[in-house]
């Protein structure tokens, strides 16, 4: 890959400052970038590196004020982070675009329907009546169960397992080791103390433009569908239980566990290691801080929560402040107890 600064500015609709012919062949972090690399500055914490970086081209925000003379060519944009992400996506697209064809050994059922310009890596298994759209990339060791559907332009990375009858939309990315459609955790307690398995006969539906991190698991519904709505972004190592529904453009960080039949609204943000009870709802726009435990439904939209059980953020902070004061309060109580004992003793002796 080789682009000059003028071409990059055109791709991100940016304003060029410096040499339009400055060439870049790769990307680099602003504190480590070398000549011939493209970098960006979005976080003010890294501003000092703007004046020392060896990068040939740096993308910055339009509002960035220069305090010193700089060496690289600059491209000013409305949002440097978004612009850099766009360029990385373009680069990744170019790197994978040439992958086509079917590697051997692999198994593809005779009833499977394959779209145009697809890639299937070695040791993949494509079951009966599977439908794969156009420009799909299926990497090594992927297993697609019977009647699975994969939409156009989706990327299924190595080792992904998709159980029967699950539906994957267009422009979906599933990272390595993800499991879609394994049985939900459903068992009926019996009078003798044992548990009878409840058959899980539903499926999982993943809508368009969803990205799911490595080793995340999404259980099939008992009946109906577990649904991941369009634009959802899931991190690595997340557990989504049966009959859960995740709303449009929700983002969820690593090690979150969402219990069965929970309904998460749109544009929700869940921090790392959040856990939810089952059969609850989380309102649109909610923000749940990491390691919080959501034990009951959140009904009011666009509010922030923290702690276990999760409380609104301001209440949680007040409780934390009070908790830090407990040692001093305990000391004062003990001093007051001694004073009361002394007064009672003096009264009795009088």
Per DSSP, helices labelled H in the chain are 5-11, 80-97, 313-324, 326-349
Higher pLDDT, 346 or 304: 304
Question: Residue 249: CB partners within 8 Å, gap ≥ 6?
Answer: 229, 230, 231, 232, 266, 267
- Tell me what pLDDT residue 277 has: 97
Mean per-residue pLDDT, 115-138: 97
Q: Are residues 36 and 164 in the same domain?
A: no
Q: Are 153 and 18 part of one and the same domain?
A: no
Residue 229 lies inside a defined structural domain of this protein: yes
At 126, list the tokens.
């494509």
Q: CA dihedral in degrees (207, 97, 175, 154; nearest 10)?
A: 20
Which of 298, 314, 330 is the last residue before a domain boundary? 314
Residues 285-312, mean pLDDT to the nearest whole number: 94
Number of domains present in the structure of the chain: 2
Tell whether 134 and 264 lie within a shared domain: yes
Q: How confident is the model at residue 341 (pLDDT cuts 50, 70, 90)?
A: confident
Give yes or no for residue 149 having a pLDDT over 80: yes
Q: Is residue 97 scored above 80 in pLDDT?
A: no
- Claim to verify: residue 147 and residue 288 sit in the same structural domain: yes
Instruction: Name 172's Cβ contacts closer than 8 Å, sequence gap at least 6.
Output: 150, 151, 154, 155, 206, 208, 209, 210, 211, 212
In a domain, 334, yes or no: no
Q: Which of 11-15, 275-279, 327-331 has the lowest mean pLDDT?
A: 327-331
Model confidence over 211-248: pLDDT tens digits? 999 999 999 999 999 999 999 999 999 999 999 999 99
Q: How many CB atoms lie within 10 A of CB 337?
A: 10
pLDDT score recorded for residue 138: 98
Q: Which domain holds residue 160?
A: 101-314
> Both 278 and 215 in a single domain?
yes
- The CATH number that applies at residue 72 is 3.40.1390.10
| Confidence at residue 88, expressed as pLDDT on a 0 to 100 scale | 86
* Catalytically active residues, by annotation: 242
Name the residue with higher pLDDT: 96 or 3: 3
Q: Which DSSP helix (H) or strand (E) runs through 23? A: strand 23-24
Calpha distance 240→255 (Å, rounded): 10
pLDDT exceeding 70 applies to what percent of the chain?
99
Q: What is the Cα–Cα distance from 229 to 242, expressed in whole angstroms?
A: 15
pLDDT class for 91, splitting at 50, 70, 90? confident
**Is the same domain home to 271 and 154?**
yes
Q: Are residues 44 and 108 in the same domain?
A: no
For the cut 80, the answer to whether the pLDDT of residue 199 exceeds it is: yes
Confidence of residue 316 (pLDDT cuts 50, 70, 90): confident
User: pTM above the 0.85 mark?
Assistant: no
- Indicate if the pLDDT at residue 173 is higher than 80: yes
Query: Mean pLDDT, the chain, as a whole number?
Result: 94
Cα–Cα distance measured from residue 186 to residue 166, given in angstroms and rounded to the nearest whole number: 19
Tell me: do 209 and 238 sit in the same domain: yes
pLDDT at 304: 94
Tell whether 40 and 169 lie within a shared domain: no
Could you tell me which residues come within 8 angstroms of residue 38 by beta carbon, excluding any fewer than 6 positions away?
A: 8, 24, 26, 27, 28, 55, 56, 57, 58, 59, 87
Residues 213 and 235 in one domain: yes
Residue 170 contacts residue 154 (beta carbons within 8 Å): yes
Same domain for 117 and 247, yes or no, is yes
Residues 138 and 91 in one domain: no
| Residue 225 DSSP code | E
pLDDT tens figures, 55-68: 999 999 999 999 99
The reported pLDDT for the residue numbered 313 is: 75
The per-residue pLDDT for 99 is: 85
| CB-based contacts of 204, cutoff 8 Å, min separation 6 | 163, 166, 167, 180, 181, 218, 219, 220, 221, 225, 226, 227, 228
The per-residue pLDDT for 109 is: 98
CA distances from 78 to 46, 60, 66, 150 (A): 18, 8, 16, 35
């Amino acid at each position: 890959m080789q682009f000059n600064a003028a071409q990059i500015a055109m791709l991100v609709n940016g304003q060029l400052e410096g040499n339009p012919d400055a060439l870049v062949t790769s990307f680099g972090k602003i504190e480590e970038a070398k000549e011939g690399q493209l970098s960006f500055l979005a976080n003010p914490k890294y501003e000092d590196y703007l004046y020392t970086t060896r990068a040939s081209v740096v993308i910055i925000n339009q509002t960035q004020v220069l305090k010193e003379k700089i060496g690289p060519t600059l491209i000013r944009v409305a949002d440097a982070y978004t612009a850099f992400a766009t360029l990385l996506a373009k680069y990744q697209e170019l790197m994978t675009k040439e992958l086509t064809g079917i590697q051997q050994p692999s198994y593809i059922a005779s009833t499977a329907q394959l779209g145009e310009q697809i890639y299937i890596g070695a040791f993949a298994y494509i079951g009966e009546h599977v439908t794969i759209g156009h420009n799909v990339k299926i990497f090594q060791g992927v297993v697609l169960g019977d009647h699975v559907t994969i939409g156009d332009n989706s990327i299924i990375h190595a080792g992904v397992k998709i159980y029967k009858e699950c539906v994957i939309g267009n422009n979906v990315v599933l990272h390595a080791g993800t499991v879609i459609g394994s049985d939900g955790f459903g068992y009926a307690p019996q009078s003798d103390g044992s548990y009878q398995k409840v058959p899980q006969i539903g499926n999982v539906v993943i809508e368009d433009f969803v990205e799911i991190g490595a080793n995340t698991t999404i259980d099939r519904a008992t009946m109906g569908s577990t649904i991941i709505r369009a634009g959802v972004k899931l991190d690595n190592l997340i557990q989504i239980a049966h009959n859960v529904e995740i709303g449009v453009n929700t983002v969820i960080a690593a090690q979150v566990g969402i219990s069965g039949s929970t309904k998460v609204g749109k544009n929700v943000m869940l921090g790392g290691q959040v856990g939810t009870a089952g059969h609850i709802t989380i309102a649109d726009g909610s923000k749940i801080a990491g390691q919080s435990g959501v034990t009951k439904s959140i009904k009011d939209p666009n509010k922030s929560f923290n702690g276990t059980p999760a409380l609104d953020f301001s209440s949680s902070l007040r409780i934390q402040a009070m908790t830090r004061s407990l040692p001093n309060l305990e000391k004062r109580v003990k001093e007051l107890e001694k004073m009361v004992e002394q007064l009672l003793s003096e009264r009795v002796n009088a």
